[in-house]
Structure 1
Amino acid sequence: MKKYKESSLISFGFEKNNDEFIFKKSIESLDLILIARLDREENISVTVLDSLTNEEFRLHLSPKAKGEYIQSLRNEIYKLEDSIKNSCAISDLFLLQWQKIIEYINQKYGAPIECMWKERFNSDEGIFRREDNKKWFAALLICNRKTLTGKGVGKMEVLNVKVDPEKIDSIVDKVHFFPSYHMNKKNWLSIVLNEGCPLETIFAFIDESYRLNGLANN
């Protein structure tokens, strides 16, 4: 089952309408408009409007309908659905990691996630800080794949942690670990959460980050 993050949907071009998200795409070569809807149960449906009459077009729904025009329309619908899933959906693996990280930090360090940007960006991104000195020691963030890796499309979910600056070059592998997104790359690291990095490894980095941010004058 796929889940969708609101911030990714908005970035893609969806507009929120009550309990639905709606995205419209004009297919000028076919004189049609595709309207994608994501309902509150997170089901995607695509309807088609005739751009000239503004009436719903349904011929492609019939299994008997054939021809180049109908096939082109079906291909456009498939491409749109795939693009939405690739750009906005997060996998069950990531959801599990996201939840486990929040639970681990809260239980071990008593630090709840602070969703600092929710009002501005409709995002569940957030940071964790030490209680004693109020310093951040971890941050859950969403970034553009190309911004982090230099290539590709869609979103990536990352955990930023502090590391020993002398160790960063040996840790970065451009698969699971990257120079930090949106933070000082000299002593922060981005761990990609949906690329199979073991939770035990992620927890070890969290512990080290917490320790480093508790050192005097650090």
Structure 2
Amino acid sequence: MDRDAVLAFVAEEFSIEPDFPWMHHPDYAVLRHADTGKWFALVMDVPAEKLGLAGDAVHEVMNIKVDPDELDALLDGGGVLPAYHMHKGSWASVLLGDAEDALDAAEVQCLIRASFALTPGW
């Protein structure tokens, strides 16, 4: 699942359009709850080295809120990394696009729904 598919899914599932708040990173898409403005996902491009990956590629990732009790299992499964630039105990980075370990669309959608559910009162 790539960035466009994630944004289309969120628009259809939650009737939410992305916010692009950073002038220096105009492609970084923040997904927020319509009623509280709280983030439930951030889609961005991050260099491999900042994700702890080998090589010099730039990876499309999505940061999502996760249940801390489920974080270790997610990190062990592939396609999910410790969160880039967020609290690593309750957020994770999901590889998107054609990354070797990228999750399939159904798994990404499940993680987006879980993040949405975990964030309203946060």
TM-score (norm: length of structure 1)? 0.51
Q: Tell me which residue corresponds to 1:112.
A: 17
> What CA distance in whole angstroms lies between the structure 1 residues aligned with 2:103 and 2:48?
17
Structure 2 alignment gaps of length 5 or more: none
Superposed displacement of residue 174, structure 1 = 7.5
Superposed displacement of residue 199, structure 1 = 0.6
Superposed displacement of residue 150, structure 1 = 4.4
Superposed displacement of residue 175, structure 1 = 3.7
Structure 1 alignment gaps of length 5 or more: 1-95
Q: Deviations over 1:121-174 (max 9, x none)?
A: 3x3111000011110001101111011024321211101110101111111038
Q: Tell me which residue corresponds to 1:197.
A: 103
CA pair 207-102 structure 1, distance change in 2 beyond 3 A? same
> What CA distance in whole angstroms lies between the structure 1 residues aligned with 2:6 and 2:60?
13
Question: Identity over aligned residues, as a percent?
Answer: 25
Q: Tell me which residue corresponds to 1:67.
A: none
Pairwise CA RMSD of aligned residues?
1.6
SS of 2:24's equivalent? helix
SS of 1:172's equivalent? helix
Greater RCO, CA 8 A, separation 6+: 2
> What CA distance in whole angstroms lies between the structure 2 residues aligned with 1:174 and 1:207?
18
Q: Tell me which residue corresponds to 1:138.
A: 41
Name the aligned partner's letter for residue 126 of structure 1: A
Name the aligned partner's letter for residue 116 of structure 1: P
Name the larger-Rg structure. 1
Query: Is 1:141–1:157's contact at 8 Å kept on the other side of the alignment?
Result: yes
Q: Deviations over 1:41-98 (max 9, x none)?
A: xxxxxxxxxxxxxxxxxxxxxxxxxxxxxxxxxxxxxxxxxxxxxxxxxxxxxxx621
Q: Which has the higher helix share?
A: 1
Query: Is 1:149–1:174's contact at 8 Å kept on the other side of the alignment?
Result: no
TM-score (norm: length of structure 2)? 0.89
Q: Tell me which residue corresponds to 2:8.
A: 103
Name the aligned partner's letter for residue 111 of structure 2: F
> What CA distance in whole angstroms lies between the structure 2 residues aligned with 1:149 and 1:102?
25
Query: Is 1:112–1:128's contact at 8 Å kept on the other side of the alignment?
Result: yes
> What CA distance in whole angstroms lies between the structure 1 residues aligned with 2:31 and 2:118?
14
